[in-house]
Amino acid sequence: MAKETKQFQAEVQKILDLMIHSLYSQKEIFLRELISNSSDAIDKLRFESLSHPEWNVDTSQFKIQLVPDVQQKTLKIIDNGIGMDLEEVEANIGTIARSGTGAFIEQMQEAKDRPELIGQFGVGFYSSFMVASKVVLHTQKAGETMGVVWSSTGDGTYTLDSVPRAEGTGTTITLHFKDDLDQDFTTEWVLKAIVKKYSDFISFPIELQKIVEVEKEGEENEEKKEKEFKTEWEVINSQKALWLRSPKDIKDEEYNEFYRHISHDWTDPRKNIHFKAEGTQEFSALFYVPSQLPLDFQMRDSKWGPQLFVKRVFIMDHCEELIPTYFRFVKGLVDSSDLSLNVSREILQQDRQVQGIQKAVTSKLLSRFKEWMSKEREDYEGMWKTFGPILKEGIHADHANKYKLIELSLFRTVDDEKWTSLAEYVDSMKDDQKSIFYISGDRYEELQNNPLLERFKQKGFKVLALTDPIDEWVTTAINKYKDFEFQSILDENLDIDTEEEKKKKEEKLKKAEEEFAPVLETFKTKLKERLKDARLSKRLTTTPVCLVTSTQDPTARMERIMGALGQEVPKTKRILEINPDHKVIQKMKDLSEEQKEVWARVLFSQALLQEGSPVDSPVDLSQDIAKMMEQF
C-alpha cells in the first residue's frame, strides 16, 4: 500500500493530550508500559504458536531489547513477539473502539490525583508521547511477510506504510526524545534503574545494547593506534519472580536474599508466608515477618503495605489497600494476574477486586499465624514480643476477624512470665474463679509487686498483666471469652469471695462503718473535688488505701494514654477504698480534724502513685509529709 496520512479518532486525541500534560506523575512510566506491552506480545506468540507449527517459533529466543542512541537522542524498544497487521495497528493505535472510552476520559479529566495505570483501555502505548516528540512503530505479524510502519508526532495525525521488517516477526518502537526532559533516557544507568524498579521480574530477558570501545590489533605505535567500537548486549533484569515458583523448590537462602532486596533490611526475616490464591481472585503473594521492628516504624510518616505487581510488572510500593493496618509490620508483595487498576488511588481503595484480595490475604495470614503458633510456639512467642501489640489492634478494629485474633493473642500473668493464650488461661482457672482477671500498667515489674494482688495469690487466681497501651481497648473489645468476663482487679464490683467469706466481711464492715465514719467523712469532704466516693474496702489486705474505677468509667491509665496522644479527656472521679485493718487508718481515727486532712491528702497521693498516676503537686505532697513527720 502507498504511504498515507490519517486523523486520530477524537477520543484518541483527547487521551494523547491527557498523556502529555497530566496523566502520569512520573514520565519514566513510559518504559514500564512499553516493556509490558512487549512482554504481552511475546506471551501471545508463545500461546498462538502452539496451533501454528508452520511459524517455526523458537521459544528459547524470546527477548526484549533496548537500543539507546545518545547522539540521535532516540531509544528503540524491540521485541520478537506476535506483532500486528495493518488492521490491528489501526484498531489498537489509530482508534479506540472499546466501550466506556468516553467515561474513561471524563474520569481522567476529573481525577484529583495523578493516576498510575497499566494497559487500561490500551492507553499504555500513548505514554510514549510524554517523552517523545515523534514515535515510530514498525511491526510485522507472525505468519506475514509484510510489516507496517506507523508514525506520529502526536499532533492529531499519523502515517501508515507497508514495509517488511528486517528482523521478521515482532515490533520495534523508536522514540525521538523531546529536548526539555528532566532525565536523559538514553543513559545506561537511567535505563537500568527504570527496568530494575518496574520490570525486573518480567519473565523474558531485557537486553540493553552497549557500544564498547576496543583497540585495533596489530598496531605497534601507541600514538597511531585506532579505536574500534563493538556492540554488546547486557541482560538488565533478573527475571527471578520468586513468588511465582513453588515454595518446595525455593531454598531458605533464596527467600532471605529476596527479603533483603524488597525490604532493605540487613537481617534475615523471622518467617516467610508464600501462597497462591485461585478462584474468584487469582494472585500470588509472598510475605515476610521481620525479625525486628524497623527503625522508622513508629514515625508518623512511615509508609507500609506490600508492593503491588500486575503480571510481574511493578505498579506501586506500599499498597496499604491490600492488608489491614494491624498487619502493617509485614513486608512483601502481591502479584495479580487480573487486577484492573483504575484512574486514581481513591478508586483503587473502592475496587471490589482489591477488597477481595485484601480479604483473601488477611484470611491466609491469620491461618498461617495460627499454624505458626501451634507448631513453632517458641518462635511465635519471639514474634509476639515484637509485634504482638500491633496485632492486638485488630481485636478492636476488625470485627470480622476479632475472634481469630483473640485466639492468636498471648498474655503474661503476674505470677508467671511465660506467655499464655486465653484458651490456656481458662483451662488453668480454678473451679470457683468467675472471671478473667487482669491488672494494667506501664511496667510488668511494677504490676507484679502491686499489693492488691495478695488476695488473688491466696486464692490461686491468675491475673493477666497488661502492659501494652492497646490493652485498654482490647479488654473492652473482648469483654467476654468462653462465658468468662474480663474484669480489672480495680473494678468497683470485683467479686472473688465465696458466699461465706462475703457474709463475714459484710458483718465486719458493718461494725467498722460507725467506728471509721469520721475518717470516711474527712476523705469525702476534703477531697470531694477529686473523689466520687470513699468507702471501706473488702479487697485490701496490706495497703491502707486504693483507687478503684466505676465499671462504666475510663481507667486512669486510659486517661493517661489519651493525654499522651493529645486527646485530653475530662478527668473522672474515682472511688477511694480504705482498709480498716491497716494501722495507718486505725491511727488516723484518733487524730485531730486538721491532722486527718493532712493524712487524707497524703494517702490520696499514695493511691495515685500506686496506680501509676502523677500527683497534683509534688511540692504540696512533700510539705504534707513533713507535717506528718512532725507529729512523731
Q: Which amino acid is at 382?
A: G
The pLDDT, as a whole number, for residue 109 is: 53
The region of weakest confidence among 32-46, 288-302, 333-347 is 333-347
User: Cα separations (Å) of 376 from 293, 385, 404, 443?
Assistant: 20, 15, 18, 28
Q: What is the mean pLDDT of residues 349-357?
A: 76
User: Considering the domain boundaries, does residue 562 fall inside one?
Assistant: yes
Beta bridge partners of 67: 76
pLDDT digits (tens, 9 = 90+) for 508-518: 888 888 889 99
For every residue of 119-185, which 3-state class applies, written as one string?
CHHHHHHHHHHHCEEEEEEEEECCCCCCCEEEEECCCCEEEEEECCCCCCCEEEEEEEECCCCCCCC
Q: Check if the beta carbon of residue 341 is closer than 8 Å to that of residue 116.
A: yes
Q: Which of 97-111, 381-395, 520-534 has the lowest mean pLDDT?
A: 97-111
Q: For residue 575, which amino acid is it?
A: I
Are both 296 and 384 inside the same structural domain? no
Q: Are residues 28 and 177 in the same domain?
A: yes
Per-residue cell: 254 = 533464596
Residue 107 pLDDT greater than 80, yes or no: no
- The CATH number given to whatever domain includes residue 520 is 1.20.120.790
Same domain, 544 and 456: no
Task: Tell me: do 403 and 515 sit in the same domain.
Answer: no
Of the chain, the end-to-end C-alpha distance in Å amounts to 116
Please report whether residue 23 resides in a domain: yes
Q: Are residues 358 and 477 in the same domain?
A: no
Whether 210 is in a domain gets the answer yes
Task: Report residue 46's pLDDT band, with 50, 70 and 90 as the boundaries.
Answer: very high
CA distance 483 to 486: 10
Residues 6+ apart with CB under 8 A from 389: 468, 469, 470
Cα torsion angle, 455, 458, 461, 465, sign: positive
Instruction: Give the integer Cα–Cα distance in Å for 179 and 264.
Output: 36
Q: What are the residues whose beta carbons fall under 8 Å from the beta carbon of 43, sequence distance 6 or more?
A: 81
Burial of 171 (0-12, 13-18, 19+ CB in 10 A): buried
The per-residue pLDDT of the chain, averaged, comes to: 86
Confidence of residue 341 (pLDDT cuts 50, 70, 90): very low
Asked if the structure places residue 316 within a domain, the reply is yes
Q: Which three cell numbers stand for residue 176?
A: 525521538
The verdict on 86 and 183 lying in the same domain is: yes
114 shares a domain with 253: no
- Res 199 pLDDT > 80: yes
Query: Of 128-137, 188-197, 451-460, which range is least confident?
Result: 451-460
**What angle do helix axes 556-564 and 471-478 make, rounded to 10 degrees?**
130
Strands 480-481 and 484-488: antiparallel
How high is the pLDDT of residue 378? 96
Question: What's the CA gap between 494 and 432, in Å, rounded?
Answer: 14
Same domain, 134 and 111: yes
Cell of 468: 501494652
**Does residue 347 register a pLDDT over 60?**
no
Q: Based on the structure, what is the number of domains in the chain?
A: 4
Quote the CA–CA distance of 410 and 392 in Å, as a whole number: 9
Domain shared by 254 and 388, yes or no: no
Q: What is the pLDDT of residues 16-31, one digit of tens each?
A: 777 666 556 678 989 9
Three-class SS state of 578: strand
Give the DSSP letter of residue 225. Answer: P
Bridge partners of residue 148, in order along the sequence: 139, 162
8 Å CB contact between 308 and 315: yes
Q: Is 494 contained in some domain?
A: no
Task: Tell me, yes or no, whether 356 and 392 share the same domain.
Answer: no
Sign of torsion over alpha carbons 533, 534, 538, 542: positive
Instruction: Note the pLDDT of residue 498.
Output: 82
Number of residues written out for the chain: 632
- CATH number where 249 lies: 3.30.230.80
- Same-domain check for residues 481 and 345: no
327: buried, middle or exposed (CB in 10 Å: 19+, 13-18, 0-12)?
A: buried
Evaluate if residue 194 carries a pLDDT over 80.
yes
Closest CA to 406 of 503, 480, 332: 480
More confident residue, 492 or 190: 190
Phi-psi region of 307 (alpha: psi -120 to 50; beta: other; left: phi over 0): beta
Q: Check pLDDT > 50 for residue 506.
A: yes
In a domain, 196, yes or no: yes
Q: Is residue 516 part of a domain?
A: yes
CA 172 to CA 166: how far, in whole Å?
Answer: 11
Give the end of a domain, one of 189, 204, 235.
235
Q: Where are the alpha helices (DSSP H) in 482-532?
A: 499-515, 517-526
SS3 575: strand
Query: For the residues 258-265, what does the mean pLDDT come to?
Result: 89
Digit-coded pLDDT (tens) for 543-586: 999 998 887 788 878 877 877 777 777 778 889 999 999 999 99
CB 217 within 8 A of CB 76: no
Average pLDDT on 103-116 reads 47
SS3 202: coil
Lowest mean pLDDT among 216-220, 416-420, 452-456, 580-584: 216-220
Average pLDDT for residues 401-406, to the nearest whole number?
97
244 Cα distance to chain centroid = 22
Q: Are 329 and 444 within one domain?
A: no
Domain annotation covers residue 452: yes
Of 488, 513, 540, which residue is a domain's last? 488
Q: How far apart are CA 584 and CA 110, in angstroms?
A: 74
pLDDT tens sequence across 600-620: 999 999 999 988 888 888 998
- Among 212, 235, 258, identify where a domain stops: 235
Give yes or no for a contact between 203 and 237, defined as CB atoms under 8 angstroms apart: no
Q: What is the CATH number of the domain that holds 187?
A: 3.30.565.10
Q: Which domain holds residue 281?
A: 242-375
CATH number at residue 445: 3.40.50.11260
Pick from 394, 261, 396, 389: nearest CA to 333? 261
